[in-house]
Amino acid sequence: MDLAQVLPLLLGLAWLTPLASFAAIVFFGPRMGHAGKGAGYVAIGAIAASAVLSILALIAWLIAHPLGGGHDAAHPVAAIAGEWYPLAVAGELKIAIGYYIDGLTVAMFAMVTVVALCIHVYSLGYMHEELHEVTDPLVTLANGQTLKRRGRFHRFFQYLSLFCFSMLGLVIAGNVAMVFVFWELVGICSYLLIGFYIERKSASNAANKAFIVNRVGDFGMIVGLMALWSGLGTFSFDEIFQQVRPAGHGPAAHGHALTVPDGMVRFAAREEIAAIYQGTPDARQAEHAIREQLPGWRAEGLGYGLLVVAGLGIFCGCVGKSAQFPLHVWLPDAMEGPTPVSALIHAATMVAAGVYLVGRFYPVFTPEVLLVIAVVGCITLFIAATIALTATDIKRVLAYSTVSQLGYMMLALGVGGWVAGLFHLFTHAFFKALLFLCSGSVIHATGTNEMPRMGGLLRKMPWTAGTMLVGCLAIAGAGIPLVIGLSGYYSKDGILAQLYSFAGQNPSYAWLFYVAAGGAALTAFYMFRLWFMTFLGSPRDEHVYAHAHESPRVMVVPLVILAVFAVIAGWNVPGTELGLQPLLEQARPLGTAEGASQGLFLPTLTLPAEHLSHAHEIHVPVTLLAFSVAVAGFLLAAVIYWWRLLDADVISRMFWPVHDFLRNKWWFDELYQFLFVRPVLAGARLAAGIDRVVIDGLAHALAGAVRLFSRFDDWIDRLFVDGAVNATANVTYEAGLRLREIQTGAIRQYVMWVAAGTVGLFVLAMFLWSYTLAGP
Amino acid sequence: MPHVVLSLIVFLPAAGALAIAFTSKDREDFIKLFSLLITIAVFLLTAWLAIPSTGRGEPSTFVVGQSAMQQVFRIPWIPAFDIYYAMGIDGISFPLVLLTSFLSMLAMAASWNIAKHVKGYCILFLLLETGMLGVFMALDFFLFYVFWEVMLLPMYFLIGVWGGPRREYAAIKFFLFTLVGSVLMLVAMLALYFSSDLSKLTPSQQTAARLQPEELRAIAAARSSSTPRPVHTFNMLALAEMGQMKQSPFDTPLLWGKSVQWWAFVLLLIGFIIKVPSVPVHTWLPDAHVEAPTPISMLLAGVLLKMGGYGIIRFCYPMCPDAAYDLAWLVCALGVVSMVYGALAAMAQKDFKRLVAYSSVSHMGYVLLGMGVWTATAGNAFVSDYWKMGMNGAMFQMIAHGLSSAGMFFMVGVLYDRVHHRDLDNFGGMFARMPLYSGLAVGIFFAALGLPGLCGFIGEVLVVLSVWNYDIALAVVSASVVILTAGYILWTIQRVYLGPEYKGPHPEALTPITRREVAVAAPLLAFAILFGVYPQAVFRYMSPSVDRTVSQLARWTKEVKAPRLAGTDALPAPVAIAGPIEPSASALPVAPSASK
Amino acid sequence: MINPVAEPVSLMHYLVVGAILFVCGVVCMTAKRNAIGVLMGIELVLNGANLNFVAFGSPYLQSGGAPSLGLDGHLMALFVIVLAAAEAAMALAIALSFYNAHATVDVDQANELKR
Amino acid sequence: MGIVFHTVLFYLLAILACGFAVAVVLSNNIVRMAFYLVACLGAVAGLFFLAGADFVGALQLMIYVGGTLVLLIFGVMLTARGPLANIQTSRAQWAMVGLIGASLLAVLLYAATTAGKWTHSGQIVADRSHVSKPTATPIGLALLGVRADRLNAERTDAALGKGMAGYLLPFEIVSVHLVVVLIGAAYLARARRRATTPPMAATSGDSNNLDPGD
């Protein structure tokens, strides 16, 4: 069968199965098994089916496009693009629901479904208590008691299914509008799941914060979409790439160099076009004239700004979703949700969607935009890593770690490391999901998030500790240098190598490399700090320690599976080129293999081609450097938290201004509260006040004036008009009163009057009309 | 027999009202049931009309894909003033007719709790439905005006008698604001009437305007007469044809150097934006909504506000294109200001219904904005696609807002029926107490939030995406509204539905949602989802007519306005613009083949 | 001096008798307080009028040259008689009713509506 | 010229009629008034005969004297009890009435005596050929819609045709009217038993409802 028909079918089914599960749980959830327990199995069945379908698709893809072709930019593997049905059509403009499938899509599908499957199974154990009536110790009612509520087991899986559907839709999306659609949907799923404990004020606040901060990013994304839409008239990835990277442009004959599309040039040259149209009566002649002018306008740089705006706008959305500086504030708060949610959404998949979109949209980014991406990523990784140093909440440490790692990915993409950045996305998804699930296991066992209350749990929960150690090693990039390593070793090395290559080309941006390298040390430090504080040493809280226990098998098995992935995700199948990295290399978008340079605004900036970083003279020193800084970080953590040669309290007191600064997360929340939230609320009150005071006041004043005038009018009326009318009425009334006296009611009088009247009439007639009556 | 069906749809509720008038007022249940049956019958009739016609023979139902007016009939009503009883439907009005009959049905079902003067309520309700349907179907300006006023009066009483504590104030405010608007509309209508001249139309335009034999005779008489005397008309189709002529009769100067159509446009626009409502003439809306009973709020937000948008697309633009072109910035600016201002004001509200009312102001701003983006200019090579998108988005937004706002008001009403307060700070914990209700409500609120997959998203995104080509600053500001919208809606959900427990009075009254209430809310949510997932269900009916309107205006811009702007009329343009509109000759701004 | 019995009777004679009857009736109606008396007055008035009709319709009384009503006069008179009968029945019923209610037939007492 | 007996008879009857009419007016006794009225009406019937209106005269005797007056006398007997029989009228009223009656009489007599002056002269329309015939048959035909006396008339309305201007419809109306009146009279004059209404019905709220069924 034709791959172009099979893959959309397979992936489409894999995409829609969770939706079916969602619908089923919505309507029948509470009735599925005891207390909705069946809902969990339905959701797991759905995601398992998705996983199977995705892996089938992956296999089909690999059979059709075997890996190992090297960097063959001349014959890129064409993506399969198409559309299912249109959402809206206006003239030649169309927004549709479609698909765009290439190696990246297939790989993402496999990764998302496998990780999600593990997390679903894990949730079966973790959310077990939702099957009964739940006592939430964190919520105190008005009468002083703690809250007791019904369990919401099925609802959890309902949201998870919806999320899987949305996430897969985001991945398969064939155009940016569809990406935006599912972008919002994963956002709302995140909202629902962060706020899963709806009774907790902190949870609903965090949910709101997450969604609204994301919307700030979306605002930028909409601006980007508008720029793109107005310029290109299409949202389809396929068509966008064709327009931005037309064949035959660029240094090499096959190079798809970045080109400002005609539409954007025309948009920027609207005044010139208007002039042409006014000077040329015939539309066809005018179009001809415009076409002749187009290259000249493009050379002048018209429309390039629009392309930059489009790129920055799209990246803005990614900043929000991937929790990059300055919109990173929502992710740590999002840890209010259940831990499997944190693992799935806020570590492995949804937050990586921003990185994914940057990767997907890579051909459209100009060097200027890429530099912004790199700088933002760099700042993010540094800020988040520093905050993670002092956090004591186990999930928050992991959350900041996630932010920091996402920063790494952005940084890599920003300096031209397309494969490196996305490779890190995949490896990170596995080990960060693992880490979160391990922390969930710990929380499940101890009932607390605070690391200072843990300690010595290694003996109580060996499996959890072991798998978490694997995760820590993976994220720190452990391995035997130049020989073999865990997955993180490969991906982080790739990033640093590309950075090193970049720094060599652009000395003025070399600081990006140093910060990233320093970040690697920080990563190792805070991860092992976490592990040491949790599992080693003596128990700090006897009550917690006594309560702790190893988690049930349903939770441990996913940990082990993920740990295996965390180890091997970076490896190729021995003896072949079959692996994640070659797959991504194959999926590399058009025209990016050659690097990028000569932006209009930053002509000196050069992004080196990625294959250059594989060169021996770059690769070896960077690997050694990365290993040594990671070891340094590990040793520092061990000195303080394992061997206890230094007292952490003493150090924090010694550097108290720094410590306070980091403990308060660089005062970002307070700053935003002051800069944005309060002014907006003040604006809201102002608007309401204007309504009440100014507009309504005006209306009331107008009404008052009219009423005043009407009172005057009324006075006139009563004096003159009414006076005349009343006088007439009075006279008539008086006359009536008089006349009434004749009406005696006595019949006999009436007869008498009739008779008298007759006589009178006759007399009158005789005197007045006698001649007439008598005739001639 | 088009006149039978359309007339039946319009006047069936009125006939029902008449029948109820002869029923004893003590039989309340029967009256309610009867009214419900009438509204259901009207809905079924309109739904029957919506079944796409097979296209063979005389179409008895709606012909999907036909852009021109359908089921048109014109019968002399007051011949002395050229007033006709003329009705018809097209893709612009028919979806609104469907929305009206659908919401009326649901609103009647939501009226079961009305206990005061049930008979009077039902009579006024049905009269209101007649007025609303008539407004959307009328093809005669005068008839339109009559229906407009017919709808106004029952509304006044429905708010003023069955409303909340400050109902008199709210009713009078509503009435005065709307009356100011309709008076201005009347002036504009008369100005257009007395400037109109049927004898200037070409034969093809006469056919398009469905002129009747007696009118053709009048034209012939006027043409052969030695002293030419204009043949006036209220025919909306003919007025639109005249407005878009090269030498339009509406171009004559009227006052202060402005033409008839400039004044007519301004007056009509004021009349319609009061109804939309747009800042700064929106303050009647929160008061009216807060005081009106729940079903009336549903209709007020769901249908009445749409008349403003409908009026703009049906009257302002086709009849006064010159003024519309010059003042497009005003329409857009009003739209954007309403969006931002409404959202901000909503955020500051403490009253649940008031908040929803302000959200309506914000959402209806999209309608104005989408209609106003006149992108078919010389700089864009007279390509109207973005404007088409904006107009389609605006129309879709009207339908979507009709569903979501009616739903929101109903959801507020369900709570208010139970606890008799609307103070946002005194709610909370609804999810635990009324789970089904909360699920439906959150779904509907998400639709208002513009969440993809629900109807609110489509309209908003189409409108917003179309703006950039008109003005970048407006586009950026309008895009920022998504943040504010998320802010106030999520904050509301948090305060009402989330949280550990209910904080307000009468906690014992919070019984689960009844089956009847589900029957009202569930269809709204179902359609919100359907239109969000498959918006073509609406666009298939709507787009051809909307596109045609825009194409005509774009062509007018190219052939009439552009030479005017250039100060030369030398272009070899046809005398009038009529007949079938072919797709514009020029391509999209982007021709992919050109760059290959 | 003309001998009255030697002259043929003319229309005038009948009219004079009719007038006398009519006036008697009117006086009766006016003067009698008894409801039955009033009724009798009415009968007299009607008879006076009837006499006129018959006289005008009579073929023997054409000396004045007045156009005869012919049979029409007779028919009018007939209708008057019949309607008078009806009226009498009705009026008597009213009078009886009044008498039952007030134990009197004095029309001056029938002034309830005036109060 | 000898004595015209027709004239004599006329005077006799006229004097009787007028005399009894005056007697009715002057009498105070209601029973006597009734008697005088009978006599008066009988004399008028005689006058009808004299004027050639034999059918009308006969009906006058039958309906008035035999019907209406019997009815009247029944009324008298039903209502005349003791002192109520004669209710006195004041002298002042009499004077007033007399004055007005006299002036009315004067006016009417003036009109009667000048009747010849204000009627158009010289037009004798009636055909004298049938004057001696009895009138009952033509009247009966007229009541059925056929005017036998007009069969030869020249002046008729074109729309009706000759002899076709009868009194069928008025006749029917009158008969129906009569029936209605009699039924109405019977209803009005029926005996009422208000005093015997049971207290329950009196308090039930519809005691003022004139229901003939009780």
Helix, strand, coil content of chain A in percent (nearest 5)? 75, 5, 20
Q: Enumerate residues 6+ apart whose C-beta is below 8 A from B71.
A: B2, B5, B6, B59, B62, B87, B88, B89
**pLDDT top residue among D158 and A33:** A33
Check CB contact under 8 Å for A88 and B484. Answer: no
What is the widest separation between alpha-carbon atoms in chain B? 85
Q: If you write DSSP's letter for every residue of chain D in order, what string do you get?
A: ----HHHHHHHHHHHHHHHHHHHHHH---HHHHHHHHHHHHHHHHHHHHHTT-HHHHHHIIIIIIIIIHHHHHHHHHHH--GGGG--PPPHHHHHHHHHHHHHHHHHHHHHHHTHHHHSPPS---S-GGGTTS-SHHHHHHHHTT--GGGTT-S---TTT-TT----HHHHHHHHHHHHHHHHHHHHHTS---GGG--HHHHHTS-TT---TT-
Residue A510: is its pLDDT beyond 80? yes
Judge whether A423 and A580 are in contact, CB under 8 Å: yes
Which pLDDT score is estimated for D127? Answer: 42
Of C29, C33, C114, the CB nearest to A751: C29
Judge whether A255 and A249 are in contact, CB under 8 Å: yes
Residue B282 lies in a domain: no
Q: Does D101 touch chain A (CB under 8 A)?
A: yes
How many residues in total does chain B contain?
596
Contacts of C78 in chain D (CB under 8 A): 55-56, 59, 139
The per-residue pLDDT for range B172-210, each reduced to its tens digit, is 888 888 888 899 999 998 888 888 888 888 888 888 888
Sequence-distant contacts of B571-575: CB under 8 A, at least 24 apart: B571/A281, B572/A281, B573/B246, B574/B246, B575/B202, B575/B245, B575/B246, B575/B247
Residue B491 lies in a domain: yes
What pairing do the DSSP bridges indicate for beta strands B253-255 and B83-89? unpaired
- Least Cα separation, residue A735 to chain C (angstroms): 18
Contacts of C68 in chain D (CB under 8 A): 124-126
Q: Does A143 touch chain B (CB under 8 A)?
A: no
Domain range for residue B519?
342-534
Cα dihedral B575, B576, B581, B584 in deg (nearest 10): 50
The answer, yes or no, to whether the previous bond of C8 is cis (omega within 30 of 0) is no
Which pLDDT score is estimated for C113? Answer: 66
Which pLDDT score is estimated for D124? Answer: 39
Residue C26 lies in a domain: no
B in contact with C (at least 3 C-beta pairs within 8 A): no
Provide the pLDDT confidence category of residue C65 given band limits of 50, 70 and 90: very low
Residue C19 lies in a domain: no
What is the widest separation between alpha-carbon atoms in chain A? 156
Q: If you write DSSP's letter for every residue of B356-410 in order, what string do you get?
A: HHHHHHHHHHHHHHHHH----SGGGTT--HHHHHHHHHHHHHHHHHHHHHHHHHH
Least confident of A239-248, A345-354, A384-393: A239-248
Residue A16 has, within 13 A of its CA and on its CB side, a CA count of 5
Residue C77 lies in a domain: yes
Provide the pLDDT confidence category of residue B39 given band limits of 50, 70 and 90: very high
Contacts of B346 in chain A (CB under 8 A): 684
Q: Does A44 touch chain B (CB under 8 A)?
A: no
Residue A8: is its pLDDT beyond 80? yes
Residue B574: is its pLDDT beyond 50? no
Residue A723 has, within 13 A of its CA and on its CB side, a CA count of 7
User: What's the whole-model pTM score?
Assistant: 0.75
Residue B584: is its pLDDT beyond 50? no
Check CB contact under 8 Å for A291 and B286. Answer: no
Q: How many domains does the structure of chain C reveal?
A: 1
Q: Does A289 touch chain B (CB under 8 A)?
A: no
Q: Region A255-262: what's the mean pLDDT?
A: 78
Q: Does D5 touch chain A (CB under 8 A)?
A: no
Cα(A287)–Cα(D40) distance, integer angstroms: 121
Residue C111 lies in a domain: no
Shortest CA distance from A286: residue in chain B: B381
Judge whether A385 and A522 are in contact, CB under 8 Å: yes
Check CB contact under 8 Å for A233 and B487. Answer: no
Judge whether B50 and B61 are in contact, CB under 8 Å: yes
**pLDDT top residue among A636 and A280:** A636
- Least Cα separation, residue D108 to chain A (angstroms): 9
Residue B555 lies in a domain: no
The per-residue pLDDT for range A610-619, each reduced to its tens digit, is 777 787 888 8
Residue C101: is its pLDDT beyond 50? yes
Residue B331 lies in a domain: no
Contacts of C80 in chain D (CB under 8 A): none
Per-residue b or e along A96-112, where b marks 16 or more CB atoms closer than 10 Å to that residue's CB = bbbbbbbbbbbbbbbbb
The per-residue pLDDT for range B242-277, each reduced to its tens digit, is 888 887 777 777 778 788 888 889 999 999 999 888
The answer, yes or no, to whether the previous bond of B280 is cis (omega within 30 of 0) is yes
Domain range for residue C54?
33-61+69-100
Which residue in B343, B345, B389, B346 sits closest to B370, CA to CA? B389
Cα(A636)–Cα(A639) distance, integer angstroms: 5
Judge whether A209 and A332 are in contact, CB under 8 Å: no
Q: Enumerate residues 6+ apart whose C-beta is below 8 A from B373.
A: B328, B332, B386, B387, B390, B466, B467, B469, B470
C-alpha torsion sign, points B343, B345, B351, B354: negative
What pairing do the DSSP bridges indicate for beta strands A479-480 and A484-485? antiparallel
| Averaged pLDDT score across all residues of chain C | 80
The per-residue pLDDT for range A187-237, each reduced to its tens digit, is 999 999 998 888 888 888 899 989 989 998 999 999 998 888 888 888 888
Provide the pLDDT confidence category of residue D77 given band limits of 50, 70 and 90: confident
Euclidean distance between the first and the last CA atom of chain A, given in angstroms as a whole number: 127
How much of chain A, in percent, has pLDDT values that exceed 90? 13
Q: Region A474-485: what's the mean pLDDT?
A: 82
Judge whether A212 and A204 are in contact, CB under 8 Å: no
The per-residue pLDDT for range B335-350, each reduced to its tens digit, is 999 999 999 888 888 8
Which residue in C88, C37, A743, C103 sits closest to D89, CA to CA? C37
Residue D125: is its pLDDT beyond 70? no
Q: Enumerate residues 6+ apart whose C-beta is below 8 A from A412.
A: A377, A420, A421, A424, A494, A495, A498, A499
Residue B567: is its pLDDT beyond 90? no
Cross-strand bridge partners of residue B85:
B75
Check CB contact under 8 Å for D104 and A773. Answer: no
Cα A692 off chain centre by: 36
Contacts of C30 in chain A (CB under 8 A): 748, 751-752, 755
**pLDDT top residue among D209 and A633:** A633
Which pLDDT score is estimated for D150? Answer: 65
**Tokens 């989330």 correspond to what residue?**
B498
Residue A596: is its pLDDT beyond 80? no
Shortest CA distance from A746: residue in chain C: C108
- Least Cα separation, residue D106 to chain A (angstroms): 9
Which residue in B62, B58, B84, B83 sits closest to B73, CA to CA? B84
| Averaged pLDDT score across all residues of chain A | 84
Judge whether C50 and C64 are in contact, CB under 8 Å: no
Q: Look at phi and psi of residue B257 and say left if phi exceeds 0, alpha if psi is from -120 to 50, else beta.
A: left
Q: Does C66 touch chain A (CB under 8 A)?
A: no
C in contact with D (at least 3 C-beta pairs within 8 A): yes
Residue A186 has, within 13 A of its CA and on its CB side, a CA count of 31
Judge whether B31 and B118 are in contact, CB under 8 Å: yes
> How many other C-beta atoms are found inside a 10 Å radius of the C-beta of residue A635?
16
Which pLDDT score is estimated for D165? Answer: 63
Helix (H, G, I), strand (E, B) or coil at A98: strand
What pairing do the DSSP bridges indicate for beta strands A134-140 and A146-149? antiparallel
Residue A255 has which token pair? 């190079």
Contacts of C110 in chain A (CB under 8 A): 745, 747
Cα(C68)–Cα(C74) distance, integer angstroms: 11
Which pLDDT score is estimated for A17? Answer: 92
Question: ipTM score here?
Answer: 0.66
Q: Enumerate residues 6+ apart whose C-beta is below 8 A from B193.
A: B82, B141, B232, B233, B234
D in contact with A (at least 3 C-beta pairs within 8 A): yes
Which pLDDT score is estimated for A231? Answer: 83
Residue D183: is its pLDDT beyond 80? yes
Least confident of A428-432, A531-535, B379-383, B511-515: B379-383
Which pLDDT score is estimated for D197? Answer: 42
Residue B22 has which token pair? 């002869």
Q: Which helix (H) or strand (E) holds B234?
A: none
Euclidean distance between the first and the last CA atom of chain C, given in angstroms as a whole number: 60
Residue D122: is its pLDDT beyond 50? no
Q: Is B430 exposed, middle or buried (0-12, 13-18, 19+ CB in 10 A)?
A: buried
Residue A34: is its pLDDT beyond 50? yes
Residue D149: is its pLDDT beyond 70? no
Window 290-349 of B: residues touching A by CB (8 A cutoff) are: 341, 344-349
Check CB contact under 8 Å for A755 and C30. Answer: yes
- Amino acid letter, D1: M
B in contact with A (at least 3 C-beta pairs within 8 A): yes
Check CB contact under 8 Å for B595 and A281. Answer: no
What is the widest separation between alpha-carbon atoms in chain C? 60
Residue B116 lies in a domain: no
Q: Which helix (H) or strand (E) holds A521?
A: helix A511-535
Q: How many domains does the structure of chain B reveal?
A: 1
How many residues in total does chain C contain?
115
Q: Which helix (H) or strand (E) holds A112?
A: helix A103-126
Q: Which one of A26, A93, A235, A241 makes the best mutation probe of the B interface by having the most chain B beta carbons within 10 Å?
A: A93
Residue C76 lies in a domain: yes
Q: Is B450 exposed, middle or buried (0-12, 13-18, 19+ CB in 10 A)?
A: buried
Cα(A345)–Cα(A352) distance, integer angstroms: 9
**pLDDT top residue among C109 and A625:** A625
Residue C91 lies in a domain: yes
Residue C21 lies in a domain: no
Angle between helix A350-360 and A418-446 (nearest 10): 180
